[in-house]
Structure 1
Amino acid sequence: MMMGSEMLRGIAPLTTATSRHAFVTLVTNGDYAMGATALARSIRLTGSSADIVVLFTGGVDVDALAPLKAFGCRLVEVEHLPLSEGFNQRHARGNLHANAPFTKGRKPAFHSPLDNFCKLRLWQLIDYSSCVFIDADALVLRNVDKLFDYPEFSAAPNVYESLADFHRLNSGVFVARPSLATFQAMLKRLDEPEVFWRRTDQTFLEHFFPDWQGLPVFMNMLQYVWFNLPELWDWKQIGVLHYQYEKPWEADHPRAAQLRPLIDLWHAFHTGDGIPDLATLANPVRAEAA
């Protein structure tokens, strides 16, 4: 069951905030720690003055987080949300994927649906007036500090297959205003009797913020656009590149051949070696029908 103290307490890293704005990401295992390292490097290379906060769960080895300190990230350990046992059972990996299977792409074996709800702890980061959450499987390719001026709740549409998906948001990038009152309201709404959030935090946020503000699609460019909607891709405009479904650190995943230029780009940011000038990169071209 939910605990009152959880709903009323802010969270903060041990270090001191240096800005009223923060990019926030979530790390739940060693793979996502690698992702967060590439993400942090990419943010720093844009010249942003905002803080970077990394929420991490107990499933992460401390050594895996060490590279993040080099980028000045503020680290804060978080627990799963204090929700009912029934909620946790309904949203456990096996039950959730059986009732709401992924049919468009492959989720890696390390994907844990209950971890996703830890994103909502962003609203406990009351050190900050505005936060931009970015999934750890993403890169920031140009300065996007203007997002901090967007209203709560802003997110880009979940477009990667057809333009019909513009009515759905993708929670890999969103703008929010930390507030303990909002966090308390979220916990109450989240754990209503027999509730089932089909796409975990993403479905919940769509319902909690029904009038969400749309961000430009370039602020959360999903990697499947590369081969499904190549006419929409433009390296000169992309602010955030999001590797939804298969991850760039996976060896020989099913889409690796199709996504090779994007995978190579992620590895360059992860290592810091050979990061290309984005202006020199070629946009994708739709394959001719056989």
Structure 2
Amino acid sequence: MISGTSVKVTDVTSKCYRVANMSQAYVTLATNDGYAIGALVLGHSLRSNNTTRDLCIMITPTVSPSIKALLHGVFNKVISVDVLDSGDSAHLSLLKRPELGITFTKLHCWTLTEYSKCVFLDADMLCVQNPDELFSHPELTAVTDIGWPDCFNSGMFVFVPSRDTYAKLLRVAEEKGSFDGGDQGLLNTYFTDWHRISFVFNMVASATYTYLPAYKQFGVNAKLIHFLGSMKPWQHRYDVTSGSVQTPAGYHHLAPYLNSWWAIYIRLVQPGIPEMVAQQLAGLHLGQESIQEGLARWERGEPDYLGRDSFANIQAYIDSKLKSGK
């Protein structure tokens, strides 16, 4: 459990957890090294909170070999999936709906029939208290989406692997597609009679500012934190000296969770990452963006107040243009 900015970190590998409940698993997906790093932190956070379930991750070929090797040290199973280059039914479906590539990849979790029940977790999540009670709930159990509460958020859901369900989902994808262009729209179209569970099992960290009194009242019960949005924990600026992450104004409640994420990363993940890969990952939040990309980010309501879009940087840009006469 996380209290304040502290975090309990246990340096262990998956071999220590081959106990009961091996027919059940937490499942996640990584489509690149950034999300694989997120999955590593998620896996360690589940281990640190004494989960008794298996950990399974599906990865695409874009995850580098060095990061894949680290995944084998945390997850019981590392399964390679490649919808774009496979002969399975998902690949054939993709020929009809090419815009749903990542969605079809995520649907592969229903093919994990070696498990009797699973809980899917997005790789941009963090476990702060043991959530194993989720396995007592039926398919499909999830948390309401903050944007449209009649739908569930697909960052966390309880499901039962089944080839039959997998085939039906592909059929729905082919015939109806997804109303939001991603897996959430497709899954909500298929699972219309879903079971609701408390927000503490998929607490969207960036949204709690909309009702801080409720967060102060119930936030202590949170079990799974979801860093929903374009800004992921590994893209924040972390001060090694102070051991803290800078947070924009109005989002200070994120600091304990971001600091805990980084504490796990610094202690248990970063030491195993080759220097070249670590430098590439470090550049994920420092890279230059085009004017078009910056404009799109502003239009989405996602300015980087403490970084590129800070007042000081904007003023410096204006001054440079005035001096150059442009």
TM over 0.5, shorter chain:
yes
* Correspondence 1:215 to 2:188: no
Q: Which residue type is aligned with residue 70 of structure 1? A: G
Q: Which residue type is aligned with residue 264 of structure 2? A: F
- Name the CA distance, whole Å, in 2 between partners of 1:181 and 1:203: 20
TM-superposed deviation, 1:202: 0.2
* Correspondence 1:185 to 2:172: no
1:241 paired residue among 225, 229, 246: 225
1:175 paired residue among 148, 155, 158: 158
- Name the CA distance, whole Å, in 1 between partners of 2:227 and 2:116: 28
Q: Which residue type is aligned with residue 128 of structure 2? A: L
**Structure with the higher fraction of residues in helix conformation:** 2
TM-superposed deviation, 1:64: 1.2
Gap change, CA 1:221 and 1:196, over 3 Å in 2? closer
Q: How many residues align?
A: 228
Q: Which residue type is aligned with residue 176 of structure 1? A: F
1:250 paired residue among 235, 238, 245: 235
The answer to which of 166-175 and 232-241 deviates more is: 232-241
Segments of 5+ residues of structure 2 without an aligned counterpart are: 1-17, 84-89, 239-245, 269-326
Give the structure 1 partner of residue 140 of structure 2: 153
What RMSD in Å do the two structures reach over aligned CA positions?
2.1
- Name the CA distance, whole Å, in 1 between partners of 2:69 and 2:220: 33
Give the structure 2 partner of residue 202 of structure 1: 184
- Name the CA distance, whole Å, in 1 between partners of 2:214 and 2:114: 37
Q: Which residue type is aligned with residue 46 of structure 2? A: I
1:262 paired residue among 257, 261, 265: 257
Give the structure 1 partner of residue 74 of structure 2: 71
TM-superposed deviation, 1:196: 4.2
| SS at 2:225 equivalent | strand
Give the structure 2 partner of residue 135 of structure 1: 122
Normalised by the length of structure 1, the TM-score is 0.73
Segments of 5+ residues of structure 1 without an aligned counterpart are: 1-16, 92-112, 274-290
- Name the CA distance, whole Å, in 1 between partners of 2:58 and 2:145: 24
* Structure of greater relative contact order (alpha carbons < 8 Å, 6+ residues apart): 1
- Name the CA distance, whole Å, in 2 between partners of 1:51 and 1:171: 20
TM-superposed deviation, 1:115: 1.7
Conserved in 2, the CA contact under 8 Å of 1:119 and 1:201? yes
Q: 5 Å matches for 1:85-164?
A: 85-88=95-98, 91=99, 114-159=101-146
| SS at 1:236 equivalent | helix
| SS at 2:79 equivalent | strand
Q: Deviations over 1:232-251 (max 9, x none)?
A: 32342101000001201114
Conserved in 1, the CA contact under 8 Å of 2:94 and 2:101? no
Q: Which residue type is aligned with residue 73 of structure 1? A: N
- Name the CA distance, whole Å, in 1 between partners of 2:117 and 2:94: 30
- Flag the structure with larger Rg: 2
